Structure 1
Amino acid sequence: MRSNSLFLTLFLSIITVLSTSKANNNNIELNKNDLTSSSSFQESLDINILPRDYMLSSFNFKLQSDDIIPSTSSFDTNDNLFTFRKYNGFPKNIEPLLNSANVKTLFLKFTRGHWDSHKWGKLPKNGFSSGGSGVELWSLIEAKDKTEAMDNWSMLMSQLSGMFCSSFNFINLEKITFPKDINSYITGKISVDSLPPLTNGNSYFLMRGSLANEPICTENLSPFLKFLPTKGKVGLASLLDGHILFDSYWNSMSIDLNTVCDFDSERCHYDMKIDINFMINIPKSLARTKRPTPKPIPAEELQCDTSKKFTEWECFPLPDKKEYSFFISEIFGNSIKDRSRLNLLSKSNIRVLGIDSDYWNTAIKVNDELLGTANNQYELNSEAKSEYDLYISTTDNSKLDSNLLKANNPPLHVSRSLTGNSQDKGGLRVTFTNPSQTRDVIIKYYETLPWFMRLYVSSLKISSSDENLSDSDLENLITDRFISLSEIRSKPLHLEYTIIIPKGTTLTLQCDLEKPLLNYEEYPPDANHGFEIESALVVVLDKYFNNKNYFIRTPTLLLSLATPDFSMPYNVSP
């Protein structure tokens, strides 16, 4: 018994010495570098009520790391073993992720579904924070040449695959493109003057890749929540539930990560923005919450149109009610568990947008107390631990903010489809419609097609709904062309066109393509399903938007190729 006591005393003494030594080293770093925390965390939620009872929920989280201390400024000489790093809520795995692949900027987008611009208007964040259906990735990598940049890209994909439980490792050389006109795609998102200085004669390479219709599920949401200092347990993130998010009509999760440097103070830090957006229908979501299992509506709850044939067995239902009220916990399945106490620079904000205050009322429930404001904006500012819930009611759901609806009209409508039903030939058609009757728009059309879609660019035909435009006029509408031809099994086709869409006009581009036969092992497991083709990107460069470019992704395509009989190798006797 005595020996055990001596051993315990000796063990505690060693731990105390080591802790004191480490604390002293940290204190030396703090004093010598005179460091103060510059990290920050902000969160906000915008609830936008749209026509036909649609509701867009936009969660926005902003994180900033402490200053990145260059290794040369460290006072230790033991291989930087005790180099000072203080994250204060910023995720620790970001810095190793970026440094290993020499990545300076990362734009990552998980999107599911197709945005209906005719019903819902403009995309949130002008479309920058959402991609095409599936996974989309943009990265600014420092490297000596393209070969090294591709090696760094492969390393980045391997790490992202494990971090986000997704198939990033399938974004290989056959799917990578190097955007030519960088400014069109990252204007206002990357400041060249704030990027870290290049070393050893390196250059920056902007690279893009995507996976069409990549399955997205709760396993992809979990890493987003783990990046937050609250881990989704408190604050606005406690509202997020995977079942509600992925049962929506459209949803998007994105991360914008930048390395920002101040050359006057010789300091750099990481800026991270996490955006989570999804679209639901209010009555249907409330009905689903009330009846999780689909069941017939009880007879006493039916609202029948008595002006039509009405019996015990027949009922023509009345239109949905114009008035309703609800708490957002009835839709999200959760209330807000307390407020985040890490965002010291600002409070957690909630805004309800798009409503006419004469017909709509909002209030926030703090514990059991209901509080309202005149501007439908709320802060989570209770000092005591509290539970929050947002209340929304209306006497006429058709009364919305007309000015906001008008400003929400998209500047362009785009559709893309495959033509032809042959197994070896077909075509690609893209249609652009400018709804404005007063001004033209200038767009950047960005297309990436796999090598097995052999597009004949020389067969391009342009047509317009304006019969007054001649063939030469139509040709002049394409002011700039960039074409990078595909290479079999190693490189996709990459097109970038700058096009003028006249006011009130529909412009159609159409090309012929050839469908080759693939090798036996190149077909997917379900070969008869077809090949998923990623979305095309259209960027509206219209000067009337004050250089705030608007981004549109077309729906994905499903390409059918001639499929061999895979049972033949097993039916032939040796």
Structure 2
Amino acid sequence: MFNSKNFLFFIAVFIETIFNANGDLFNEELFIKPLPPAHLYTYFQFTTLVNDNLSSEHTYLAPRSLVEVLTRFQVDELHFTLTEGQWRHNHWGYPVLDAAPGAELYAWFSSDVENVDTQWKKLSSTLAGLFCASLNFIEDFNTITPQMALQPTGAIPQNPNITSQLRYASLPREIVCTENLTPWKKLLPCESSRGLSALLNSRMIHNTNYHSIGVHTRKVCSSSDCSVVSLEIKQTVALVYDSKIIRTTDWSFTKLFGQGLPGGCPLASSSKVYVDITTNDTQPFLLSPEPEKVLLSQRGGSETKLALYTIKPENKMTTIGAKYISKKDLVLMKLPPLYFNRYVLGYGKEFGGIVTELTNTFWSSIDVVVLQNAPWWLPIQLSSLRINGEASSEMVLARHYSPGRSRQKPYHLELLLRLPPKSTTKITIDFEFVFLKWQEYPPDANHGFYVGSAIITANLPTARNYTSLPGTASLFESSINASKPWYPAVFRTNGVMVSLPTPDFSMPYNVICLACTVVALAFGPLHNICTKELVLKVVGSSVTLKQKIINLFKKKKE
């Protein structure tokens, strides 16, 4: 008997076979990790691997609009994130991919590009229209070229001047909303109709402590000698739920996303859900339904247990949940080997300072690169740089400083430090407050001015609280038992806010009100005197009706 569901499933499998024959592969993954004591981390990852015969005029699974942008502006590697909230590294450990609050964009251009600044401006403006974000506000005065903090993760030809092709900018005031999520989902092969992307309900994901969406593209090797490369497009969503928001520590797809999962994407080679059950020994919970298998990953001195679910592309509603057995024990996560904090010093409206604290909890030293990016309206003074209160320190192995220029160029400082074991290092640098033109103040000037996050790059000696994928890997299965001598990580500190000298914008309003009141009081009587005629009224006995009729005929004769 003919079944329409089976027929549609057959068509989907047939289309997937054709796409795989052309070399395009699409995989979707969901990683769920409890964050004691009362948070839950969910990370969506959609990876599209495009064959080497890339054409912007015809694509299979890759989004044509994004491929055209990469091809037109000759972009080798691109990283773009939109984030609301702040990741708490000292309490939650490390995310799979860290992101700065607001909007963050950086890209490496091909070595054939001569005028990188022009291509950078065109790229940011185009992405602003593609993702409905305010990336068109990226200009020369908020763009820098990092020298040590950022390195390409893809297969880019060796170039001694690779940093000259790199541009970085951030907009810490940018707000993430539904207008950004909708075009992001349209880049997926199944959009939001099927697959894991169907769980991304804007009404639910924006009601979280932390949410971030991102698009990351790079070139990866398709052969052993890397003579053939493919394009990898990775779309990510990171969410952190609070048990107080969902009103329970138990979780399920219905509670988190407002609905179940209507099967995997028919165009995906695999649809998998990983649940970190490492904390099940201290905070026991039961998964429903039972996982297909439990994977044990030993990585860098850390042991992780993962429950694996394989989602099939069937038109069947699926939901995964966890119910805690004991809710009395309060368990905190172990401190990661490196965490940090950033805050502002000073008082008044003349001088201030920014302090970045780096804490190394490991028993050996850790080398880190700290990138400080200050806007032009917050000039930092290199002569005031202090490491633990000292002007010169043996911890500084290398330094790069690029002075800013008023309304043209930001201030840029990078430090290569060797953090001693079991220590806290304070990096302090002073800045001056400047007066802006009245047109340069934002609409809510008294709210304050946001300063972008600092970037911290480190090679961690241990994988404790480490969930990132290996540099050459694309899927989560590659991180299982993937021990390495070092674990590279790029972190973002929390953003800071400063209050610049702000004029009293209410005074023009007061002057306008006072002037309008004076004009109204003066103009009203003068207008009445000049336009109205004074007529004397006869005071006497009342006029009879007969006299009124006679007076009326007299006026008509006149």
Q: Which residue number in structure 2 is paired with residue 445 of structure 1?
A: 370
One-letter amino acid matched to 1:340:
C
Give yes or no for contact 2:146–2:163 (8 Å, CA) kept in 1.
no
Q: Which residue number in structure 1 is paired with residue 336 of structure 2?
A: 410
Give yes or no for contact 1:355–1:401 (8 Å, CA) kept in 2.
no
Q: Which residue number in structure 2 is paired with residue 53 of structure 1?
A: 38
1:190 aligns with 2:154: yes
Shift of the 513–232 alpha-carbon distance from structure 1 to 2, 3 Å rule, reads same
Q: Which residue number in structure 2 is paired with residue 431 of structure 1?
A: 357
1:132 aligns with 2:104: no
Give the Cα separation in 2 of the matches to 1:430 and 1:265.
Answer: 40
Give the Cα separation in 2 of the matches to 1:213 and 1:337.
Answer: 36
Spell out, residue by residue over 1:421-474, the C-alpha distance to the aligned partner (whole angstroms, 9 max, x if none).
Answer: 2212222222222122x112111000110111121111222227xxxxxx59x6
Shift of the 118–203 alpha-carbon distance from structure 1 to 2, 3 Å rule, reads closer
What aligned pairs does 1:300-315 form with structure 2 within 5 A after superposition? Answer: none
Shift of the 485–144 alpha-carbon distance from structure 1 to 2, 3 Å rule, reads farther
Task: Tell me the SS of whatever aligns to 2:309.
Answer: strand
In structure 2, which of residues 480, 491, 498 is the aligned counterpart of residue 552 of structure 1? 491
How far residue 61 of structure 1 moved from its aligned partner, in angstroms, is 1.0
What aligned pairs does 1:267-416 form with structure 2 within 5 A after superposition? Answer: 268-282=229-243, 284-286=245-247, 325-344=250-269, 346-356=270-280, 359-364=284-289, 371-373=290-292, 375=294, 377-382=307-312, 384-397=314-327, 406=334, 409-416=335-342
How far residue 400 of structure 1 moved from its aligned partner, in angstroms, is 10
How far residue 374 of structure 1 moved from its aligned partner, in angstroms, is 5.4
Shift of the 400–533 alpha-carbon distance from structure 1 to 2, 3 Å rule, reads same
The CA RMSD over aligned residues, in Å, is 3.1
One-letter amino acid matched to 1:97:
V
Q: Which residue number in structure 2 is paired with residue 421 of structure 1?
A: 347
One-letter amino acid matched to 1:435:
T
Shift of the 139–202 alpha-carbon distance from structure 1 to 2, 3 Å rule, reads closer
Spell out, residue by residue over 1:310-347, the C-alpha distance to the aligned partner (whole angstroms, 9 max, x if none).
Answer: xxxxxxxxxxxxxx755321221010012212123x34
Give the Cα separation in 2 of the matches to 1:541 and 1:224.
Answer: 32
Give the Cα separation in 2 of the matches to 1:397 and 1:63.
Answer: 40
How far residue 56 of structure 1 moved from its aligned partner, in angstroms, is 0.5
Give yes or no for contact 2:395–2:417 (8 Å, CA) kept in 1.
yes
In structure 1, which of residues 222, 227, 235 is the aligned counterpart of residue 187 of structure 2? 227
Shift of the 525–325 alpha-carbon distance from structure 1 to 2, 3 Å rule, reads closer
Spell out, residue by residue over 1:45-78, the C-alpha distance to the aligned partner (whole angstroms, 9 max, x if none).
Answer: 11111211311011111111233357xxxxxxxx
Give yes or no for contact 1:356–1:399 (8 Å, CA) kept in 2.
no
1:506 aligns with 2:474: no
TM-score by length of 1: 0.73
Give the Cα separation in 1 of the matches to 2:410 and 2:313.
Answer: 56
How far residue 377 of structure 1 moved from its aligned partner, in angstroms, is 2.9
How far residue 192 of structure 1 moved from its aligned partner, in angstroms, is 2.7
Give yes or no for contact 1:363–1:392 (8 Å, CA) kept in 2.
yes
Q: Which residue number in structure 2 is paired with residue 299 of structure 1?
A: none
Give the Cα separation in 1 of the matches to 2:431 and 2:251.
Answer: 52
How far residue 541 of structure 1 moved from its aligned partner, in angstroms, is 2.9
Q: Which residue number in structure 2 is paired with residue 290 of structure 1?
A: none
Give the Cα separation in 2 of the matches to 1:448 and 1:355.
Answer: 38
Task: Tell me the SS of whatever aligns to 1:387.
Answer: coil
Task: Tell me the SS of whatever aligns to 1:272.
Answer: strand
1:114 aligns with 2:86: yes
In structure 2, which of residues 378, 401, 407 is the aligned counterpart of residue 489 of structure 1? 407
Q: Which residue number in structure 1 is paired with residue 29 of structure 2?
A: 44
How far residue 239 of structure 1 moved from its aligned partner, in angstroms, is 1.1
Spell out, residue by residue over 1:208-236, the C-alpha distance to the aligned partner (whole angstroms, 9 max, x if none).
Answer: 00001311011111122111111021111
Task: Tell me the SS of whatever aligns to 2:414.
Answer: strand
How far residue 352 of structure 1 moved from its aligned partner, in angstroms, is 3.9
* Larger mean Cα displacement after TM superposition, 259-268 or 90-99: 259-268
Count how many residue pairs are aligned between Structure 1 and Structure 2: 460
Q: Which residue number in structure 1 is paired with residue 137 of structure 2?
A: 170
Give yes or no for contact 2:143–2:168 (8 Å, CA) kept in 1.
yes
How far residue 100 of structure 1 moved from its aligned partner, in angstroms, is 2.2
Shift of the 337–36 alpha-carbon distance from structure 1 to 2, 3 Å rule, reads closer
Give the Cα separation in 2 of the matches to 1:383 and 1:247.
Answer: 29
Shift of the 503–162 alpha-carbon distance from structure 1 to 2, 3 Å rule, reads same
Give the Cα separation in 1 of the matches to 2:457 and 2:227.
Answer: 35
How far residue 384 of structure 1 moved from its aligned partner, in angstroms, is 4.2
Give the Cα separation in 1 of the matches to 2:46 and 2:198.
Answer: 13
TM-score by length of 2: 0.75
One-letter amino acid matched to 1:558:
M
Spell out, residue by residue over 1:275-333, the C-alpha distance to the aligned partner (whole angstroms, 9 max, x if none).
Answer: 2111112353146xxxxxxxxxxxxxxxxxxxxxxxxxxxxxxxxxxxx7553212210
Shift of the 501–395 alpha-carbon distance from structure 1 to 2, 3 Å rule, reads same
* Larger mean Cα displacement after TM superposition, 378-387 or 479-488: 378-387
Give the Cα separation in 1 of the matches to 2:119 and 2:317.
Answer: 45
Aligned-pair identity in percent equals 25
* Larger mean Cα displacement after TM superposition, 159-168 or 542-551: 542-551
1:217 aligns with 2:173: no
Give the Cα separation in 2 of the matches to 1:413 and 1:266.
Answer: 39
How far residue 556 of structure 1 moved from its aligned partner, in angstroms, is 1.3
One-letter amino acid matched to 1:39:
D
Shift of the 386–270 alpha-carbon distance from structure 1 to 2, 3 Å rule, reads same
Task: Tell me the SS of whatever aligns to 2:109.
Answer: strand
Give the Cα separation in 2 of the matches to 1:400 and 1:159.
Answer: 48
How far residue 151 of structure 1 moved from its aligned partner, in angstroms, is 0.5
Larger Cα-atom Rg: 2
Shift of the 272–374 alpha-carbon distance from structure 1 to 2, 3 Å rule, reads closer
Give the Cα separation in 2 of the matches to 1:202 and 1:498.
Answer: 19
How far residue 186 of structure 1 moved from its aligned partner, in angstroms, is 2.8
Shift of the 516–382 alpha-carbon distance from structure 1 to 2, 3 Å rule, reads closer
Give the Cα separation in 1 of the matches to 2:461 and 2:252.
Answer: 41
Give yes or no for contact 1:113–1:133 (8 Å, CA) kept in 2.
yes
Task: Tell me the SS of whatever aligns to 1:454.
Answer: coil
Give yes or no for contact 2:263–2:313 (8 Å, CA) kept in 1.
no
How far residue 37 of structure 1 moved from its aligned partner, in angstroms, is 0.5
